[in-house]
Structure 1
Amino acid sequence: MSVEHSAAHAEQAKRGAFSSRRVFILAAIGSAVGLGNIWRFPYVAYENGGGSFIIPYLVALITAGIPFLLFDYAMGHRHRGSAPLSFARLRRGTEGLGWWQVAICFMIAIYYAAVLAWAVSYTIFSVNKAWGDAPDAYFFGEYLQAGDPGVTASVVPGVLIPLVVVWVGVLVIMLLGVQRGIGATAAIFIPLLVIAFLILVVRALMLPGAGVGLDALFTPNWSALLEPGVWAAAFGQIFFSLSIGFGIMITYASYVDRDTDMTGSGLVVGFANSSFEVLAGIGVFAALGFMAQASGVAVSEVATSGIGLAFIAFPAIINEAPGGALIGVLFFGSLVVAGLTSLVSVIEVVISGIRDKFDLRRRTATAVVVAPAALLSLVFFSTTSGIYVLDIVDHFVNRFGILVVAVVSVVVVAWVVRALPRLADHLNLTADLQVGRLWVVTLGALVPVVLTIVLIQELWAVIDEPYGGYPMWMLVVFGWLMVVAIAVAGFVAARVPWREGTSLADPSVPDSEEIS
């Protein structure tokens, strides 16, 4: 064994690794399958052509989702580092892109944990339907104690306690490491999630009116295929649901053995994620069909997405459905499991970046990251104003944080560094299904154009009508300033020197081929 190979092996052992390709795939699926699969996709499909939406959705998956997923895989697998280290090894001047992604993940983790805490509470509430006959009033009133939009310091014990539980669970998982923590969690929870959700779907399909809901979801509106907005919605959904473009898949790919087929793994993860989205659509709309029939209204009257679907519509369904407690436990339990595997992946991006930069032990880096994240999460999202801050931060960080850094990253790598052919060659070293010029052209041209169109649409929507009707100062502070601060923090972090002895050379090529 050469000295270089021994050094690389020692560094990988120090960073941690997944024990097998199967564990990596489960972890990647766990990151991709999150709350958005369950509460966002069904409504997006319903609003954008129903059954006909599957066509632009599959086109988006094949032409943008999987190519970008493979881009992330190639970056992490070739450069064997966190997002910042992988970009630094690509070219020193691009390191700030990696820290920009780290900052986004840190922000997401802070508020994502709060939604997970709500789901924990509602899993318990489902047993005796604690929300009573008015789920809407209960969620915003008795549970969140939300008043008028603003910022308060009034703590809500019912949110604080499960939020502490969530962060303790995350801390334990992260302390256990890449394989014993992240890998083992995915290996246990992803099969559990699939089983629980299959039971939920079967139970929902047995409800009176389920067929009405499925008709509403899958009846095709072929004319929708002529609308540019429908195609933009498809590309946006694929992008948001695959956990691509903000460091997660770069980080996970760096923990995979050199001989792993990354192209095949990407196809498995991409289609598994989309399959779960379709499954979620069936379960959700079967339940909404029952609700519509029980209420004597059209499905359009009860169809919704996001927080409204999970914490208002579904409790209303549970109140009316036979065996509602079981449906509630399965639904909210699925949210907990899907949310936890996604939250773990998000926080790992930050821990991995900090470890690589400062040569910290895993326990130290975990404490350095999780402690302030948990503190900020508790300060902002366990209060009576938490729901409003969360809504604004989530909207802006997804639209103008993740989308922007994704577009900038792929444009820089494709057109400034011109590294896509090199990354394609790396993927092909171990791939059964080879990527070639089509992948390079798709990623370098089609993906940036489509994502830019989605970004412009989102920007126009916010300019045309201030988001959510919130006070402008809240949108500025928790929206625009937050987005700018994340980007600035990323490039400031890139100015901090690396730990002594860190090799910023590309570990996949001889010195003569390194990118300066």
Structure 2
Amino acid sequence: MTGSLNIMKAEKESTNTCNITDKFDLNEITSQNTDGTSFTSSSSIKLQVTAEKSMFQSAIGGIISCVGGAVGTGNIWRFPRVLASNSNSGGALTFYIIWVLILFFWSIPILIVEYSLGRFTRNSVPVAFCKFFGQKFFWLGAWMVTVVFFLSCYYPVVLGWCIYYFYISCAYPLPKTEEEGLAVFNNFAEQSYWPVLTQFLAVALTGICLAGGVKWIEKANIILVPLLLFIILFMFGWAITRQYAEIGITFLFTPSWSTFKSPTLWIAAAGQNAFDTSSGMGIMTTYSTFMSRDSRIVSYSFLIPIINNLVSLYASITIFSTVFSTIIQTNPTVTRSAVVKLIKTSGPGSTGLTFTWIPVLFSKFGLFGRILCALFFLCLVCAGISSLLSITQIGVLAMKELNVSHRLAVAIALIASAIIGLPSAIYLDFLTNQDNTWGYGLVISGFLFCLLVIVYGPNRYRRVLINEFGINDCHLSIFWVPLIAFLVPLQSVALLGWWMYESITTDPKWFHLNWTSLLTTLLEWFVALIGLFILNWILYRTNILSKALNKAHGFDPYNPATYENTDEQMKYNSTINKKSINIDDITICTQL
């Protein structure tokens, strides 16, 4: 068949329509076969069109910006700190083993659900859940938005640290010892109000991007993200060749089997995997709403998290090699236990580990190292902003589908984030509490994605939303069904139950209200759920949810007529030249 495509105006459809501007109507695609017959499909090529978003000017710009959204402070700051907090003097290999296992048997199966859910429904997470469960279960999807919102409240604080360290790298000599590095971090994070200023600066930069578009961040990322990856590799190569670095590497790859039975270690590894890969966050569900049916989501679900976790691995080796090398050169008689203890005292929960030691590493290069250090933190700022954009956009999209304007949704998300994030900027203990509470909350989010698949039918989900709906994608094996239906939800329930039991039996103050107690975490979750139940009731009673579903994009998973026999032209290799469409009039979001 030849692909002779003619674009003609058509009526909007109720279930599978696109957002359009005044300058471009939803089009019906007519394709002519070689025998002279023709067929039409108004949903053949679905462009996510909106006048409110900016687009990337090139495919490479979109890809690199997505890399910037994936690789950021979660890899370079959070992973080494979580690794340090969950290791003892025996070694850290046990954490690595659990971390890799959870990647393949928890994160990747959930990511497949996220990608396919967004691509099929083309809606925010809460509205997508309503399509499967009904309006009374809006709160299930809203839980994920809530968890990610609280993450977005303290994330600008860490991003603000990067901004501050970029400033001191330019204005002051770098610290040369661990004492100097700790002093710089403590004076900044615990004994001044600099974190508040830099937090608001980070929120303001994010607001500019969300309100005014992402074209400038794309242009910056095309230069800064590859530069960041180059500097990380350079740091890695330099760190592992330093004297005594092999002792740090040996520590990282030595198992401490006694920690294997610690539920805290397992749930920390699961939470870190969620941070590394964005599994359970709803970020990939949001991104994939802009994907066409020929997007290779199964391939993305494997390739992107593996590459992302490799960056975390390199970052941890770099940090620990630097720590052991510097300390042993300063004090050759120091023991491994003493080094591990020092690592854990770099701020509450090792929050200052990376910020303490990266400048110390670069100080060994003199002026060249100072320039590299400034570039490193500048690149990390840009990548961090990309990540914060992704996190914030989840809530913005959810509000927009409830008929809140784009700019108002951005304002609400950022103002609330800045206010609720203030305690994290002032008190490191509060930041550590938020990081742990909502990091553990991601495990619940992962379970809810599994619940959606189980209720719909795992094999049916695999067939309808992935294998049959996708075009030119890898075939998802039947092996995924027992993973998502049994193993992944069992892991989530077992980890949370095990962690609660261990907390109750080992911590005599678990029922006290302090930053690290089990009761505090459960109380925060309970308050969030009560708020979501109330919000769900209000939206249901006022018919706001009903209106959101009536104008929802995408397809109905329980109505085959909305998704069968669509996009026929793509199956016959018919194409449309997107360059012929004026991108100033419409926007095709190509985040992924």
- TM range, smaller chain: 0.7 to 0.9
What is aligned with 2:195?
159
What is aligned with 1:105?
148
Shift of 1:393: 1.7
What is aligned with 1:277?
312
Aligned residue among 406, 409, 420 for 1:376: 420
TM-score, normalisation: structure 2? 0.73
What is aligned with 2:242?
207
Alignment of 1:9-24 (within 5 A): 9-10=18-19, 12-14=48-50, 16=53
* Residues 369/308 of structure 1: CA separation in 2 closer, same or farther (3 Å cut): closer
* Residues 30/130 of structure 1: CA separation in 2 closer, same or farther (3 Å cut): closer
Distance 1:452 1:475 in 2: 21
Distance 2:509 2:291 in 1: 42
Aligned residue among 254, 278, 281 for 1:243: 278
What is aligned with 1:153?
none
Aligned residue among 321, 327, 352 for 2:397: 352
Q: Which of 70-79 and 297-306 deviates more? A: 297-306
User: Which is helix-richer, 1 or 2?
Assistant: 1
What is aligned with 1:343?
388
Query: Conserved in 1, the CA contact under 8 Å of 2:295 and 2:473?
Result: no
Shift of 1:100: 1.2
Shift of 1:255: 2.1
Query: Conserved in 1, the CA contact under 8 Å of 2:169 and 2:374?
Result: yes
What is aligned with 1:263?
298
Identity fraction in percent: 23
* Residues 114/327 of structure 1: CA separation in 2 closer, same or farther (3 Å cut): same
Deviations 1:155-194 (A, max 9, x none): x4422322222111101111134x6377667655532321
Shift of 1:351: 0.6
Distance 2:148 2:447 in 1: 17
What is aligned with 1:150?
none
Query: Conserved in 2, the CA contact under 8 Å of 1:197 and 1:330?
Result: no
* Residues 322/510 of structure 1: CA separation in 2 closer, same or farther (3 Å cut): closer
Query: Conserved in 1, the CA contact under 8 Å of 2:109 and 2:484?
Result: yes
* Residues 510/310 of structure 1: CA separation in 2 closer, same or farther (3 Å cut): closer
> Are residues 1:488 and 2:527 paired?
no
Query: Conserved in 1, the CA contact under 8 Å of 2:80 and 2:315?
Result: yes
* Residues 403/186 of structure 1: CA separation in 2 closer, same or farther (3 Å cut): farther
Aligned residue among 174, 179, 182 for 1:136: 182
Aligned residue among 533, 543, 554 for 1:507: 554
Aligned residue among 342, 359, 364 for 2:408: 364
What is aligned with 2:457?
418
> Are residues 1:405 and 2:427 paired?
no
Query: Conserved in 2, the CA contact under 8 Å of 1:89 and 1:506?
Result: no
The SS at the match of 1:358 is: coil
Query: Conserved in 2, the CA contact under 8 Å of 1:264 and 1:431?
Result: no
Alignment of 1:72-471 (within 5 A): 72-92=114-134, 93-127=136-170, 128-129=172-173, 133-140=179-186, 142-146=187-191, 156-177=192-213, 180=215, 189-218=224-253, 220-221=254-255, 234-295=269-330, 296=332, 297-298=334-335, 300-303=337-340, 304=343, 306-315=350-359, 317=361, 325-326=370-371, 328-329=373-374, 332-333=377-378, 335-360=380-405, 362-377=406-421, 379-383=422-426, 386-399=427-440, 401-411=441-451, 413-418=452-457, 421-428=460-467, 429-464=470-505
Residue 87 of structure 1 aligns with an amino acid whose one-letter code is F
Distance 2:485 2:222 in 1: 34
The SS at the match of 2:243 is: coil
Shift of 1:260: 1.3
Shift of 1:486: 2.1
* Residues 254/33 of structure 1: CA separation in 2 closer, same or farther (3 Å cut): same
Residue 112 of structure 1 aligns with an amino acid whose one-letter code is Y
Deviations 1:368-394 (A, max 9, x none): 2212322333x43443xx222212122
Distance 1:490 1:117 in 2: 30
Structure 1 stretches lacking a partner, 5+ long: 147-155
Alignment of 1:52-71 (within 5 A): 56-71=98-113
Distance 1:501 1:414 in 2: 22
* Residues 343/513 of structure 1: CA separation in 2 closer, same or farther (3 Å cut): same
Q: Which of 47-56 and 436-445 deviates more? A: 47-56
Q: Which of 122-131 and 96-105 deviates more? A: 122-131
Query: Conserved in 1, the CA contact under 8 Å of 2:267 and 2:499?
Result: no
Residue 445 of structure 1 aligns with an amino acid whose one-letter code is F
Shift of 1:354: 0.5
Shift of 1:514: 8.1
Distance 1:210 1:468 in 2: 39
Query: Conserved in 1, the CA contact under 8 Å of 2:190 and 2:428?
Result: no
Deviations 1:268-313 (A, max 9, x none): 2112112212221232233123213223234553343741312334
The SS at the match of 1:430 is: coil
Query: Conserved in 2, the CA contact under 8 Å of 1:35 and 1:339?
Result: yes
* Residues 397/5 of structure 1: CA separation in 2 closer, same or farther (3 Å cut): same
What is aligned with 2:571?
none
Shift of 1:217: 2.4
Query: Conserved in 2, the CA contact under 8 Å of 1:71 and 1:423?
Result: no
Distance 1:167 1:236 in 2: 24
Distance 2:459 2:231 in 1: 40
The SS at the match of 1:433 is: coil
Residue 136 of structure 1 aligns with an amino acid whose one-letter code is L
What is aligned with 2:585?
none
TM-score, normalisation: structure 1? 0.82
Q: Which has the larger radius of gyration?
A: 2
The SS at the match of 1:259 is: coil
Query: Conserved in 2, the CA contact under 8 Å of 1:45 and 1:217?
Result: no
Query: Conserved in 2, the CA contact under 8 Å of 1:77 and 1:258?
Result: yes
Deviations 1:184-238 (A, max 9, x none): 67655532321232232233344333333223323x4496797676766654542
Query: Conserved in 1, the CA contact under 8 Å of 2:396 and 2:409?
Result: yes
Distance 1:499 1:106 in 2: 24
Residue 341 of structure 1 aligns with an amino acid whose one-letter code is S
The SS at the match of 1:437 is: coil
Query: Conserved in 2, the CA contact under 8 Å of 1:114 and 1:382?
Result: yes
| Matched residue count | 497
* Residues 451/170 of structure 1: CA separation in 2 closer, same or farther (3 Å cut): same
Deviations 1:406-461 (A, max 9, x none): 223422x1333436632553222225321132112101111111222332343345
Query: Conserved in 1, the CA contact under 8 Å of 2:249 and 2:321?
Result: yes
Query: Conserved in 2, the CA contact under 8 Å of 1:101 and 1:490?
Result: no
> Are residues 1:34 and 2:72 paired?
yes
Distance 1:113 1:191 in 2: 23
The SS at the match of 2:550 is: coil
